[in-house]
Amino acid sequence: PQYVFEFAEGNKDLKDLLGGKGANLAEMTNLGLPVPPGFTITTEACRHYLEHGSVPAGLDAEIDQKLAALEERMGKRLGQADDPLLVSVRSGAKFSMPGMMETVLNIGLNDESVKGLAAQAGNDRFAWDSYRRLVQMFGKTVLGIEGELFEDAIDETKSRKGVTSDLDLDADDLKAIVETFKSIVHEATGTEFPTDPREQMRLAIKAVFDSWNAPRAVLYRRQERIPTDLGTAVNVCSMVFGNLGMDSGTGVAFTRDPASGQQGVYGDYLQNAQGEDVVAGIRNTVPLADLERVDAKCYAELLAIMETLETHYRDLCDIEFTIERGKLWMLQTRVGKRTAAAAFRIANQLVDQGLITLDEAVGRVTGDQLAQLMFPRFDHAADRDRLGRGMNASPGAAVGRAVFDSYTAIKWSRSGESVILCRRETNPDDLEGMIAAEGILTSRGGKTSHAAVVARGMGKTCVCGAEELDVDTKNRRLVAPGGRIIEEGDVISIDGTSGEVFLGEVPVVASPVVRYFDGEIDPASDQADDLVRAVHRFMQYADAARRMNVRANADTPEDAARARRMGAQGIGLCRTEHMFLGDRRSLVERLILADTDKEREESLAALLPMQREDFVGIFAAMDGLPVTVRLLDPPLHEFLPDITELSVRVAVAEARGEKHEGDLRLLQAVHRLHEQNPMLGLRGVRLGLVVPGLFTMQVRAIAQAAAERIRAGGRPRPEIMIPLVGTVQELEIIRDESVRVLREVGEESGFDLDYPVGTMIELPRAALTAGQIAESAEFFSFGTNDLTQTVWGFSRDDVEASFFSNYLEKGVFGVSPFESLDVDGVGRLIRIAVEEGRAARPGIKLGVCGEHGGDPASVRFFHQAGLDYVSCSPFRVPVARLEAGRAAG
Ligand code: ADP
Ligand code: MG
Ligand code: MG
């Protein structure tokens, strides 16, 4: 195979072979844009090297040949003493990857050619600046020497001279620095800095290959599920120089604002600089628009090129460029990253411009981005006093008093205060404090830290790793840049979407996108901005395209109504457990403690009308749409008093010689019902089988509520769902009872109440015997929360707080299986159940009601698995609608 391609031989679709950077350099070359000539060594060569430990036979010869052609074209040889050709060696995989080797510039310089370069340019300083950069970058990235050693040496020279800017160092200073750098290399490696240009290039190429397996790159791939065997390409590109004086420079640009999506000129430029200086923050850059003053000709050319690129790529592009003595050079482009709002705006603008179709536009915005647009946000118009910034770990806007330990967080929140829990980092002991807090702020740790993972799991706002804010838990205070001090109790505001932290209370406003979904903003009116109009347009398209229905999980009339406004086509999960709490708790207690049938029947009879009222309200809110009611699911002891409290009460009463018969009986029952693993104990259908009359009471309430709604002119469509079934026998018993009750109430009321009875599939055994279960179930709803718990053997309430952050850091999985469905394991069981369920009962209705129903990646899987609907929290309904549309498109 051919291992080396000149830029002109490639194109943008060859990312697999040439990497992203190489493919786009090729594309720009062929568009006739000014790209410094060069060539790309393929990922295939890299794969060979990684597999065999040596480069493929013939690679060196091929490189020599391409290099010779390059030298011919440039009229000088690599490192030629009197007029050297210099090149950069640049890594570039298909996906850009943090932790991989970056770029080595100015390859070809040595003690001889540096003089030639100086003479040719008529600029000694420039030549020695380039040389010191080579030794520094080569030393750091190829030879693996601690970068600080070099930086310290520069700082030392500067402070000896009493100057602060690199530009104040003259040729002699830089010459001395090169000598120092070479001795650093010698000391660290025991060998001299390689002076042979071709050897420099060979070593740099090998280092790029090796960097594919740098620990951070390996970890990143594991987390992002990027295949481990793709390898990276290497780009060898002739140098152009932005450090030749004030008529030279280097910059970055975007074809639109990646933050807002607005059209305009965005970027930064730095005069007399090379490479990474722009982003490294060594000197202050100027806004790109100022380039017009500095060099009007290059500025105009750059704008024209940006337009060419955007029209060609039909998307926002980001660009790296360099100006060498008034001549513009393009060094990189790619389709650029952007915020959620920018993604919607840009896609919509491109449709308007006729560059992409609506279908493509919807393909380019994600449910995750839509979810981000729906979080409440700080009012940007308000005065804001910014203290600092960290990582945007979990979106949202939270305001509260700063507290520095969990105990205080809990105490203050109990007394009605909103608090922000500030910690250096969190650990499982902080869990209760995190639950109590409005938001979480940490000064250490990244997006997979404990704080970040747990906060995202709880849907709680979190800013993590805010290193510029020193959380001093000992003195209960936060020290911000400039020595500003925030004491315990001071109000702060944290923005989990941007990572910013503010002093005081920043006012919060509902997102306009949510107000649109809620029907408060008419997309056709002036109230709607371009973002709302884009969302509206894409939602309409997605709704028309999708095959799956979207329902909501809701168990109050208010939630049901909201879900409906958000576009829900029914309720996929109406939990009944909250209907047994509050004032009804004592009735439930009596039911559980009942010794005789009569006692039990009395409590059930008391509960019945209350349940009926609950359902009437929900059926009314969802009139005409299906409502799947799940019969009681949680372990019974959840309805009983706390065992410790009760024991104390009984002991105290006993010691005082008081009467305590009731409490004693209760305590005995609590003991009897106490379970080591309640999630695997007496719950779900097991309750229905063990507590006589419980489930039939619920079914009766459903049926009577339906009858009442029909009488009032409504169209109730209840569906009865039996939870936690493991075997068809369990289901048969409850189903027969349910059907009997439906008939009875039907006869009493004179209506046909022939409602479907189905089951949840949330145990592996149920999935594996779905064919049998389907004989007795009119529908399945996959309870993916429990299914994930039981497939993995994870107790969700325990593991997420205790060791998931550790698992994520080690790359065991890239995202928690409770957040995004584990397609390989849990997903496989779902596929089995879908197939066998449909085989046994063609037309069986299949849905999902776990939290995964609102997770974009999972929705995509459910579409592929052939489910009829997903059900998720009301707030997530639009996300699921969009993703279901994208999946079908
Ligand atoms: P990254 O992938 O980190 O962006 P690049 O390979 O793009 O690394 O190199 C970083 C920067 O180095 C470029 O933006 C550019 O400024 C500079 N650079 C790379 N190659 C050359 C070159 N041949 N001539 C001048 N500058 C270059
Ligand atoms: Mg770059
Ligand atoms: Mg469940």
Distance of CA 509 to the CA centre of its chain: 23
- Residue 613 has a pLDDT of 94
For residues 878 and 873, what is the distance between their CA atoms, to the nearest angstrom? 10
How many helices (H) and strands (E) would you count in the chain? 36, 31
- DSSP states of 784-838: HHHHHHHHHT--HHHHHHHTHHHHHHHTS-SS-TTTS--TTTHHHHHHHHHHHHH
Residues 880 and 546: beta-carbon distance below 8 Å = no
Residues 15 and 235: beta-carbon distance below 8 Å = no
pLDDT of residue 216 exceeding 90, the answer is no
Give the burial class of 274: count Cβ atoms within 10 A of its Cβ; 0-12 exposed, 13-18 middle, 19 or more buried: buried
Cα 127 to averaged position of ligand 1 atoms, centre (Å): 18
Cα→Cα distances 307→349, 619, 630, Å: 14, 55, 57
pLDDT of residue 161 exceeding 70, the answer is yes
Tens digits of per-residue pLDDT, 145-155? Answer: 999 999 999 99
Tell me what the mean pLDDT of segment 122-128 comes to: 96
Closest residue by Cα to residue 24 from 266, 339, 278, 33: 33
Cα 783 to averaged position of ligand 3 atoms, centre (Å): 5
- For the chain, what is the mean pLDDT? 93
Measured over the CA atoms of residue 809, residue 810, residue 816 and residue 822, the dihedral's sign is: positive
Catalytic residue among 46, 464, 574, 849: 849
| Ramachandran area for residue 683 (φ above 0: left; ψ -120 to 50: alpha; else beta) | beta
**Catalytic residue flag (residue 872):** no
Tell me what the mean pLDDT of segment 750-779 comes to: 98
For residues 651 and 630, what is the distance between their CA atoms, to the nearest angstrom? 39
For residues 545 and 539, what is the distance between their CA atoms, to the nearest angstrom? 10
**Structural tokens at position 754:** 């022939």
pLDDT of residue 808 exceeding 90, the answer is no
**Catalytic residue flag (residue 660):** no
The pTM (predicted TM-score) of the whole model is 0.88
Catalytic residue among 450, 536, 637, 863: 450
What residue has token string 């295949």?
227
Q: In terms of DSSP bridges, do strands 87-93 and 38-41 run parallel, antiparallel, or are they unpaired?
A: unpaired
For residues 824 and 826, what is the distance between their CA atoms, to the nearest angstrom? 6
- Residue 505 has a pLDDT of 96
Residue 710 identity: I
Among protein residues, the one with the nearest Cα to ligand 1's atom 27 is: 275
Cα→Cα distances 264→254, 259, 269, 340, 749, Å: 9, 12, 16, 18, 68
Tens digits of per-residue pLDDT, 290-338? Answer: 999 999 999 999 999 999 999 999 999 999 999 999 999 999 999 988 8
* Among 232-241, 269-278, 386-395, 686-695, the least confident range: 269-278
Among protein residues, the one with the nearest Cα to ligand 1's atom 15 is: 275
In this prediction, residue 665 has a pLDDT band, given cuts at 50, 70 and 90, of confident
Residue ranges for the binding site for Mg(2+)?
Answer: 762, 786
- Residue 280 has a pLDDT of 66
Highest-pLDDT range among 277-281, 306-310, 441-445, 656-660: 306-310
Counting residues of the chain whose pLDDT is more than 70, the rounded percentage is 100
Q: What are phi and psi of 624, to 5 degrees?
A: 85, -10
- Residue 456 has a pLDDT of 78
Tell me what the mean pLDDT of segment 659-672 comes to: 85
Cα 335 to averaged position of ligand 2 atoms, centre (Å): 12
Among protein residues, the one with the nearest Cα to ligand 1's atom 24 is: 239
Sequence length of the chain is 889
In this prediction, residue 462 has a pLDDT band, given cuts at 50, 70 and 90, of very high
Residue ranges for the binding site?
Answer: 575, 630, 762, 783-786
Cα 138 to averaged position of ligand 2 atoms, centre (Å): 17
In this prediction, residue 281 has a pLDDT band, given cuts at 50, 70 and 90, of low
pLDDT of residue 420 exceeding 80, the answer is yes
pLDDT of residue 585 exceeding 70, the answer is yes
**Structural tokens at position 169:** 């160092």
Counting residues of the chain whose pLDDT is more than 90, the rounded percentage is 78
pLDDT of residue 458 exceeding 80, the answer is no
Residue 229: DSSP 8-state: T
pLDDT of residue 282 exceeding 70, the answer is no
Given ligand 1 and candidates 103, 235, 237, 252, which is best to mutate, with the most ligand atoms within 8 Å of its CB?
A: 103
Burial 551-569 (b: 16+ CB within 10 A, else e): bbbbbebebbbbbbebbbb
Among protein residues, the one with the nearest Cα to ligand 1's atom 2 is: 102
Ligand 1 atom nearest residue 90's Cα: 6
Cα 723 to averaged position of ligand 3 atoms, centre (Å): 7
Ligand 1 atom nearest residue 36's Cα: 23
The ligand with the least distance to the CA atom of 251 is 1
For residues 346 and 361, what is the distance between their CA atoms, to the nearest angstrom? 9
The ligand with the least distance to the CA atom of 796 is 3
Given ligand 1 and candidates 332, 333, 334, which is best to mutate, with the most ligand atoms within 8 Å of its CB?
A: 332
Residues linked to residue 869 through DSSP beta bridges, in sequence order: 549, 847
In this prediction, residue 674 has a pLDDT band, given cuts at 50, 70 and 90, of confident
* Domains, the chain, ordered by start: 249-335 (3.30.470.20), 376-509 (3.50.30.10), 546-579+604-635+679-888 (3.20.20.60)
Residues 705 and 716: beta-carbon distance below 8 Å = yes
Ligand 1 atom nearest residue 91's Cα: 6
Q: Compute the 3-state secondary structure of the chain and give helix, strand, coil in percent, each to the nearest 5.
A: 50, 15, 30
Among protein residues, the one with the nearest Cα to ligand 1's atom 12 is: 275
Given ligand 1 and candidates 101, 232, 322, which is best to mutate, with the most ligand atoms within 8 Å of its CB?
A: 322
- Residue 97 has a pLDDT of 80
Vertex 566: Cα angle to 565 and 568 (nearest 5): 95
Tens digits of per-residue pLDDT, 522-578? Answer: 999 999 999 999 999 999 999 999 999 999 999 999 999 999 999 999 999 999 988
Residues 479 and 469: beta-carbon distance below 8 Å = yes
In this prediction, residue 217 has a pLDDT band, given cuts at 50, 70 and 90, of confident
For residues 709 and 718, what is the distance between their CA atoms, to the nearest angstrom? 11
- The helix (H) or strand (E) run that includes residue 333 is strand 327-335
- Residue 144 has a pLDDT of 93
Vertex 19: Cα angle to 15 and 21 (nearest 5): 105
For residues 135 and 322, what is the distance between their CA atoms, to the nearest angstrom? 21
The CA dihedral of 65, 69, 75, 81, to the nearest 10 degrees, is: -20
Vertex 605: Cα angle to 604 and 609 (nearest 5): 110
Measured over the CA atoms of residue 360, residue 361, residue 364 and residue 367, the dihedral's sign is: negative
Residue 104 identity: V
How are strands ordered across the β-sheet holding 4-6? 4-6, 38-41, 232-238, 87-93, 103-107
Residue 800: DSSP 8-state: H
Cα→Cα distances 237→777, 827, 875, Å: 66, 46, 50
Residue 78: DSSP 8-state: B
Q: Which residue has the higher pLDDT, 430 or 276?
A: 430
Instruction: Quote ipTM for the complex.
Output: 0.96
Residue 481 identity: P
Among protein residues, the one with the nearest Cα to ligand 1's atom 22 is: 239
In this prediction, residue 260 has a pLDDT band, given cuts at 50, 70 and 90, of confident
- Residue 814 has a pLDDT of 81
Among protein residues, the one with the nearest Cα to ligand 1's atom 6 is: 90
The ligand with the least distance to the CA atom of 242 is 1
Residues 420 and 492: beta-carbon distance below 8 Å = yes
Q: Which residues line ligand 1 (CB under 6 A)?
A: 36, 88, 90, 102-103, 105, 237-240, 250, 275-276, 320, 322, 331-332
- Residue 202 has a pLDDT of 97
- The helix (H) or strand (E) run that includes residue 663 is helix 661-673
Measured over the CA atoms of residue 188, residue 192, residue 193 and residue 198, the dihedral's sign is: negative
* Among 123-132, 500-509, 810-819, 877-886, the least confident range: 810-819
Residue 315: DSSP 8-state: S
Closest residue by Cα to residue 691 from 850, 856, 580, 843: 580
Cα 370 to averaged position of ligand 2 atoms, centre (Å): 29
Q: Give the chain's end-to-end CA distance (angstroms, integer).
A: 37
- Residue 162 has a pLDDT of 93
- Residue 859 has a pLDDT of 98
The ligand with the least distance to the CA atom of 631 is 3
What residue has token string 């709880």?
458
- Three-state SS at 36: coil
Ligand 1 atom nearest residue 92's Cα: 2
Cα 438 to averaged position of ligand 3 atoms, centre (Å): 27
* Among 72-86, 130-144, 581-595, 815-829, the least confident range: 581-595
